[in-house]
Each structure stands twice: as structure tokens, then as C-alpha cells.
Structure 1
């Protein structure tokens, strides 16, 4: 029997995108999944839209918390998950129909516990931007320190083998922090070089502000990873240069 996959989705004011996101999950060729949506205090119609899906699909579960940030929302869903695998999909991103099937086959064939894939970028309106992010075949902790090379919407990890791993509670870069945390346990992240997801490049996203990300990278390296002042400074500089010139 196919193992259960727990899909972790934080939601905040995503009424414009959440229907398409959920539908992309329902179209998966791998059908043994549960979708755990934690709403982070939305003030729009997100919850109303999600509840309409709940009435028709028992695999979808909705939880509500006061606005606390994506890390808290994701961790709430991880805590309540029951799957042998955990995967991530934000409320404005999309999966291709064979995403789960191909990635699980990749993991089970090679006995990999932590994997990610390639993905493409789309605009707010869903238009293809002709930008593809190709994953690395193998990534170690040290390789990941120079920049976050893993897309959150592409990740899957094996709970049965490495346990439930939670995101550090920081407002930004919490996914990056989680990958580093897993790499300390699992040592290697393996990449499946197939485009299986669509990342929505939001025009108002903080991730588009390269200099704003400086302080969040600094916090990650100093407070979460507890690296030295000079190593943190070196890594923050390396991160921002990669973002500017790539």
C-alpha cells in the first residue's frame, strides 16, 4: 500500500490563489495524501474558500491560529500530520500532477530521506516567466550555507526515518533554517532534476528585496546556526552577492 504523504500548507490572505493550489494537489496521480492547511489569521475569504473544499474532500484539514507567521503555521500542521512523508506547498504555489508520484518513487528507489526537485517561476497572474531553477544532484550542509538552493515547494522528507523536524521560529528564512537543520541529521539532500512545481514570484514579496534579506540571513546564521561573527558576516555577504549576480 502506498504510504501517506502529509502536505504542509500555511495560508494567509490567499483568496486569489488557494483554489488553484488545492486543485493542483487534488490532481495528483499519487492519491494517498492529507492536506493540512493552517490559516494564519486571514482577514479575506481564504477560510470560506477552503471550507468549501472540506465538504467534498475528507483528505483536506483546516486549522486556524492567530497571526504568528509562516513558521508557526507550518509547525502546527507538521505537529498534526500523520504521514510517512512530509511535503510543503505554500498557498499560492502549484504542483504538476505527477509531483508526488515521481518524487516518492525517486526516494524509495534510492533509499533517500531528504529530497527536492527543480521548479519553474510564474508571475502573480500565473504566466510562465521562462525561469527554471535547476536543483543540485547532491547538497551538504556546508554547500547550503552559501545560499538557499532548495525550493520549499519541492521538498519532501521521510518522517519514518528521520522523525518530524520543525521549523525554527523566525519570521523569515524559516524554510532555509529547516533545510540546514535536516542536513545536520541526514547529511545530504538529493535532487531530482525534473520540473514538478510552479513557484509564484510575488511582486510584493520580501524575498524580492535582496537587501531586506540581509538581516534575516544574519539572524539565521548568528541566532539559529550560532556561527561566529566573522563566519556569519562572510556568509551573509556571499548570500547577497549570489542573489545580485545570479
Structure 2
């Protein structure tokens, strides 16, 4: 088995049909489709049955539901292919050659574990679309150190990747907000080589119900997970200006004005002194000033130069 496509599903039958329709068109041999179902009803099972004659489906019902991202790992544990292509049920492949092109990239680079492509955001409520490409600058940052993903997630959501099937490559069930970035950092720490395909091969459906929308600008989620990720990477990562800039923006955007604002219920890791220094320095300025992009960037740079080294 060459490729395992896995769909960790949850009661989105209409979206799932769209994803499966894109898989029916794939010009690819020697692959399987693993569906792990967290739904409280039979809606996903019924759709899987509809496509069972057109796709090489292996369906598994989770009882009880495993939740996100444990359901992603459940799908991974069922995969038999050399490569894994995760596809969330609200995303779909753009090209009938998408699987083939990603597979060919890994075949051509046996020393590489990860391939990702450009993608198109599809805003489901408005119909607006947006192509996202990884610039040469971001590719260089990724080559230098995966910790630069703190700066921004320039790989994209999990549906845009394919990687070798290795037991070490699993999602951290302690995370939701940083789950994809943490996964990429883990993979690239094991093997820093990657291949980027500068062609839109995946459509990413963006709706209000997504977990990212629920977590965005939520102190109770963002603060503990960002510090947890920093702890895993090592606090010395704050000596990287891109990581420092991320925490500068994070503290500003979450309107953290003193150390007490960081004491959220899920915070189980110590607050690095460097971040406390960021908070103290930002308090000198009104938030309205910090929200002026060029001004904030200048203040961040000065703060970085005179920081307390981690």
C-alpha cells in the first residue's frame, strides 16, 4: 500500500461528500481511504456506505468519541500505507493529480519525510477565496529552524501535507490551537528536509464552527498552549527574533497588561522572564499605539535588542 488517505470525520455529511467526490477523481493506484468516525449518529457511516463501491474505504466507528486531535491519531494508527495524507472532512482536493503529485515528490526525495503544497482558502459563509503560497523567504525560515513557525504557520492546515508513515509522527492530544504547528515542528525536528509544491492542490473550507474560530483571541486557550509549545521547544527559542516577535504580538493582541492576566486556568507551565519583560514594556504604551503596525515593530525590535536573554 503506497498511500493512506485518512479522514477523521464528525457529522458533516455534506462536506464529507465533497471531500469524497474529490477522491473519486484521483488518478492514483495503490491507496486506501481510512475514515474514523466520532459522530454521535450514523450520518458519516451512511455516506461511507454510499461511496464504498467507488473508493477503497476502511471505516471505523469510535465508541465513545475520541475527540480532536485524538481522532486524527486513531486514523493514523489504522493506516497501512507508506505515506499518510490527512484530509479533514470539510476540505477537498483541487486536482485529480493531487495525490499523485505529492506521492511523486516523496518518491523523488527518499531523504525527505514531509511534502506540502499551496492551497486555497474557501470561506464557506461568503464564498470568498484566497490562494496561499509559501514564499521563498518562509521556505528559507523553515529550512533554518522549524521553531520559526512561531512567526506564522506558513505551511498551512494539516490537509495540505503528506508525510511518511512513522510511529513518531502523531498529534499532541494536549493541544488544539497549536496542534498543527507542534506536529510540523516535531516532524521537522526528526527530519529537517521537506518538499514544497507551489501549486494549489487542496481547498480548505473555513467555517464559523471550526476549532480555530473558537480558539482565536481566547486567552484560556492561546496562552497555555503557546507557553506549552515554547516549553517543548525550549525557552531559549525566545532568543530568536521571530519567536520573540510572535510573543510580542500575542501579548498585545490578547491585551495582556500585567502578570495577573497570564494566570489562566489551563496554564501549567512557568512564565518565562523574557515574556514578563515584554508585558512590562508594553504597559508603558497604550494599546492604541501598540496596534500601529510600524510603531509596534520598532518597539519590538528595540525590546528584543535589550531583552533579558532566555
Do both share a fold (TM > 0.5)? Answer: yes
Report whether the alignment pairs 1:175 with 2:175.
no
- Compare relative contact order (CA 8 Å, sep 6+) and give the higher one, 1 or 2: 1
Report whether the alignment pairs 1:165 with 2:169.
yes
Q: Could you tell me how far apart the structure 2 residues matched to 1:117 and 1:228 are? A: 30
Per-residue CA deviation, residues 152-176 of structure 1 (Å, 9 max, x unaligned), is 11101123xx555111113513222
Report whether the alignment pairs 1:228 with 2:235.
yes
Paired residue for 2:207? 202
Paired residue for 2:58? 61
* Shift in alpha-carbon separation, 1:229–1:105, aligned structure 2, 3 A: closer
Paired residue for 1:46? 44
Paired residue for 1:95? 93
Q: How does 1:19-168 map to 2 (within 5 A)?
A: 19-43=17-41, 45-54=43-52, 56-57=53-54, 59-65=56-62, 66-96=64-94, 97-111=96-110, 112-124=112-124, 127=127, 129-136=128-135, 138=139, 139=142, 140-151=145-156, 152-159=158-165, 163-168=167-172
- Which segments of 5 or more consecutive residues in structure 1 lack a partner in the other structure? none
Higher helix share: 2
* Shift in alpha-carbon separation, 1:64–1:230, aligned structure 2, 3 A: same
Per-residue CA deviation, residues 4-44 of structure 1 (Å, 9 max, x unaligned), is 10112111111121111112112111132111111113436
Contact 2:147 2:233 in 1 (8 A): no
Contact 2:175 2:225 in 1 (8 A): no
Q: Could you tell me how far apart the structure 1 residues matched to 2:40 and 2:251 are? A: 32
Contact 1:222 1:228 in 2 (8 A): no
SS at 1:17's partner residue?
helix
Q: Normalising by structure 2, what TM-score?
A: 0.67
Contact 2:121 2:203 in 1 (8 A): yes
* Shift in alpha-carbon separation, 1:241–1:153, aligned structure 2, 3 A: farther
Contact 2:147 2:237 in 1 (8 A): no
Quote the offset at 1:237 in angstroms.
Answer: 4.2
Q: CA RMSD in A?
A: 3.0
Quote the offset at 1:212 in angstroms.
Answer: 2.4
* Shift in alpha-carbon separation, 1:23–1:58, aligned structure 2, 3 A: closer
Q: Could you tell me how far apart the structure 2 residues matched to 1:126 and 1:102 are? A: 30
Q: Normalising by structure 1, what TM-score?
A: 0.83
